[in-house]
Structure 1
């Protein structure tokens, strides 16, 4: 039995197919299949039911999976302790961020880590906050910069960088441009087209919770994947952009949303990270804490 065989088993389970596992592991599909089959012969049990496209665990596979996971976790902890004892940061770090993240503190921390630890391989990916949190829980990411409305799942080390309320961005001359505040019911009024981000983002979670707490049912007219798109459409008169306060600036007017739930941006680290991940998280915490002002993030830098 070899460690890479256990890794292949876990990845096939996570991806649901040998092809998906091979793509994630950057090895050939035939190599994954051969190694899993070799492990099955050695153990004397069949781990997967193989279909034309999907692979699902057999009852024996279900029984053995927690032990394979525990074995790999134990090896990872041995490496992390050894790195701590030797003072060496090596290996790899898998970091995820919300889509379009260009926060200066994040970029500065990333650059500082690469300069301090050139021997560490860094894998960076983008996604919705919901997907990033799930990847942390599954062990597919070591740390992530995520947006959320409400507490994150237990077991994560969380440092919140930004807390913001929602506003409605409207162009000059709009009937709401002179308002000091809006009620959630105003957004659901006939003829109002709300432009915002899709489910899985912190802003959308905050908007949905704000409306639910006010007893309002709201169906946004347009869902876009970047604040820039929502702001550009609002500036053209296509609707009202509902975003975090720091994202809305000239030429739009930002009108506060009464009773808004807070949308937060946090650095989340999975339980028991390795030495490299801890070092990366430490640098990011320092840079993010020093690079975010009282008004929050730089305007239009990330899909909160």
Structure 2
């Protein structure tokens, strides 16, 4: 017995005709008749009463029809499930990213994934890194691009995109620019402009100053965008503390190295290590985009 025989059997039962069943399944009438006879031989019972003008189910045929339909339905369910895995026909992927941080390779990965799998609904959420980490841990986010201080969180898989030091960004000609370097403890003598609590950059700053002087730094001005942080420093409102790559976007300002921080600022993709097929496919695009 095979699925093709069950398909032909159901077609004859539903149409009441070997001829119409053959038209439905796109083979000859003799082919349908031969397969039904083979099925009857295997089951040891006639499935149709062929004495009239229509093919009527026998008692055995009526019982067999319920099971044949169930078997075909299960086959369709199986095919749909495999299609979801292999073809990623449908589904949803929730992605988090740091507020105000435009990362071109992530957008490239999103675009490439959408082209390959248009049936997958994409949802993009911006938040501070602490909320992104919590979202991945609870499962409300499938994956997030987050700023981290030091090592990625335990129990989460991660791909580190950037690992770099913090710098102090200041206008040319300022006292700090003339010094050329600053110890992390020395930052406390300046008005500091930085990203908010919950971001990776701020976490690195807070932990480094706390380790150096025993207290958290007083941040005079807070902005959610690295560009805004740099803009405030440009206008003399304080010393901007950002990562090296963020500072590179503002060549009119001087990036002064901060000594003795000891903790790298990381930008990393994080996800739970039980990836769904959609997430696995998206991560492949991310690896290609960030390579």
Is structure 2 residue 257 aligned with structure 1 residue 256? yes
**181 and 227 in structure 1: CA distance in 2 versus 1, 3 angstrom threshold:** same
Aligned to 1:188, the other structure's residue is in SS state: helix
Extract unaligned runs of 5+ from structure 2.
1-76
Extract unaligned runs of 5+ from structure 1.
1-77, 290-304
Normalized per residue, which structure has more helix? 2
Alpha-carbon deviations, 1:174-229, whole Å to 9, x = none? Answer: 1111223101222112xx21000111100001101111221253111111111111
State TM-score, norm by structure 2: 0.68
**Which structure: larger Rg?**
2
8 Å contact from structure 2 (residues 147, 199) kept in 1: yes
**Corresponding residue for residue 279 of structure 1:** 281
Once structures 1 and 2 are overlaid, which stretch shifts more, 202-211 or 215-224? 215-224
**Corresponding residue for residue 117 of structure 2:** 117
Distance 2:84 2:103 in 1: 33
Distance 1:273 1:130 in 2: 21
**Corresponding residue for residue 218 of structure 2:** 219
**Corresponding residue for residue 163 of structure 2:** 163
For these two proteins, the number of residue pairs brought into alignment is 209
Distance 2:218 2:142 in 1: 35
Displacement of 1:162 in angstroms is 0.1
Distance 1:256 1:128 in 2: 25
**148 and 122 in structure 1: CA distance in 2 versus 1, 3 angstrom threshold:** same
8 Å contact from structure 1 (residues 144, 269) kept in 2: yes
**Corresponding residue for residue 108 of structure 1:** 108
**Corresponding residue for residue 237 of structure 1:** 236
8 Å contact from structure 2 (residues 147, 200) kept in 1: yes
**Corresponding residue for residue 87 of structure 2:** 88
State TM-score, norm by structure 1: 0.65
Displacement of 1:88 in angstroms is 1.8
| Alignment root-mean-square deviation, CA | 2.0
Aligned to 1:137, the other structure's residue is in SS state: helix
Distance 2:180 2:233 in 1: 18
Distance 2:280 2:101 in 1: 21
Distance 1:273 1:84 in 2: 17
Displacement of 1:265 in angstroms is 0.4
